[in-house]
């Protein structure tokens, strides 16, 4: 079985982002970029399935500019077998990404497609679900546990009320939650080795004719800042203020 993993290049999660001066977006000049943390978990899960003998190839795909090669190389340093860059200079919408990935599903015929549940930049949490819908296959979103048994994927999902376990027919789309696993680190020899692994570049526009995005961003604003509060000296003062100043307890 092949596993296809989608990885996105995003601002590193430690960076405190700033809205740019003309309110058109986020100021990304000279910002540290990394693999989206949820995508890293997706790569790790695919590698673990391969190590258990449940998969024989892990293919990583990224959509975006040439710079995404960095994230593909990183995923290959962790252990992915090969990478595919679907190159585009535009900012692709979730729907366009899902359509591109569905082409890859047609071409590679994977048993599992693993994506992060959301990317920490646009925070959409939708590409995996759209992909599963376009392909007409099962989806296991927000996964915190995944096993393959008798040709089914058994996936435990983190839901608002607790945990839910589903059994999915393969092929299936899985989107990862944070507690699915703890990703490994890439070691230097593997980073060197990854430079020689196959990385194919395809033109996104040739694969799926671009279409005008339906959802467009008009402007981006900084959130309203909370005004800094004050320190209280002790519990007595705290309770007194909550009762008489804030009036949130009685």
Interface with other proteins, residue 29, by CB under 8 A: no
Binding mask of the shown chain, residues 32 to 71, with x at each position contacting other proteins by CB under 8 A: ----------------------------------------
Q: Are 79 and 197 in contact (CB under 8 A)?
A: no
Sequence-distant (6+) residues with CB within 8 A of 66 are 85, 87, 201
CA–CA separation, 12 vs 72, rounded Å? 15
Interface with other proteins, residue 22, by CB under 8 A: no
Interface with other proteins, residue 30, by CB under 8 A: no
Residue 203: both structure tokens together: 């033109």
Interface with other proteins, residue 94, by CB under 8 A: yes
Backbone angles phi, psi at 189, to 5 degrees: -60, -35
CA–CA separation, 239 vs 250, rounded Å? 10
Interface with other proteins, residue 26, by CB under 8 A: yes
- The residue within the footprint of ligand FAD, chosen from 3, 11, 35, 37 (CB under 6 A), is 37
Interface with other proteins, residue 118, by CB under 8 A: yes
Residue 190: both structure tokens together: 């593997």
**Between 147 and 203, CB nearer to other proteins:** 147
Binding mask of the shown chain, residues 151 to 180, with x at each position contacting ligand FAD by CB under 6 A: ---------------------------x--
Longest dimension (CA), the chain: 68
Shortest distance in whole angstroms from residue 202 CB to other proteins: 22
Residue 115: both structure tokens together: 């994506």
Interface with ligand FAD, residue 42, by CB under 6 A: no
Binding-site residue total for other proteins (CB under 8 A)?
78
φ/ψ region of 149 (left if φ > 0, alpha if ψ in -120 to 50, else beta) reads: beta
Residue 190 touches which member of ligand FAD, other proteins, none, C-beta under 5-8 Å by kind = none
Q: Are 74 and 60 in contact (CB under 8 A)?
A: no
Q: Which stretch binds other proteins (CB under 8 A): 44-52, 56-64, 124-132, 188-196?
A: 124-132
Q: Quick one: CA dihedral 45, 125, 130, 83, positive or negative?
A: negative
Contact positions vs ligand FAD (CB under 6 A): 13, 37, 120, 178
């Amino acid at each position: 079985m092949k596993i296809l993993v989608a990885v996105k290049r995003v601002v590193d999660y430690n960076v405190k982002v700033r809205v740019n001066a003309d309110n058109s977006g986020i100021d990304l000049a000279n910002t540290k970029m990394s693999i989206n943390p949820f995508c890293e978990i997706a790569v790790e899960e695919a590698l673990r399935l391969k190590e258990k003998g449940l998969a024989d190839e892990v293919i990583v795909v990224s959509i975006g500019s040439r710079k995404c090669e960095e994230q593909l190389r990183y995923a290959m340093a962790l252990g992915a077998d090969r990478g595919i860059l679907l190159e585009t200079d535009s900012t692709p919408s979730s729907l366009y990404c899902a359509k591109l990935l569905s082409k890859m599903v047609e071409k590679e015929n994977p048993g599992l497609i693993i994506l992060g549940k959301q990317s920490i930049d646009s925070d959409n949490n939708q590409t995996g679900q759209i992909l599963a819908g376009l392909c007409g296959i099962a989806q296991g979103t927000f996964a915190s546990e995944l096993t393959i048994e008798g040709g089914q994927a058994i996936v435990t999902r983190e839901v608002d009320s607790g945990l839910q376990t589903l059994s999915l027919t393969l092929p299936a789309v899985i989107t990862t939650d944070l507690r699915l696993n703890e990703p490994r680190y890439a070691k230097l020899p593997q980073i060197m080795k990854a430079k020689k692994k196959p990385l194919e570049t395809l033109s996104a526009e040739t694969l799926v004719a671009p279409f005008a995005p339906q959802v467009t961003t008009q402007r981006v604003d900084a959130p309203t800042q909370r005004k800094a509060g004050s320190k209280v000296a002790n519990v007595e003062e705290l309770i007194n203020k909550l009762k008489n100043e804030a009036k949130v307890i009685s």
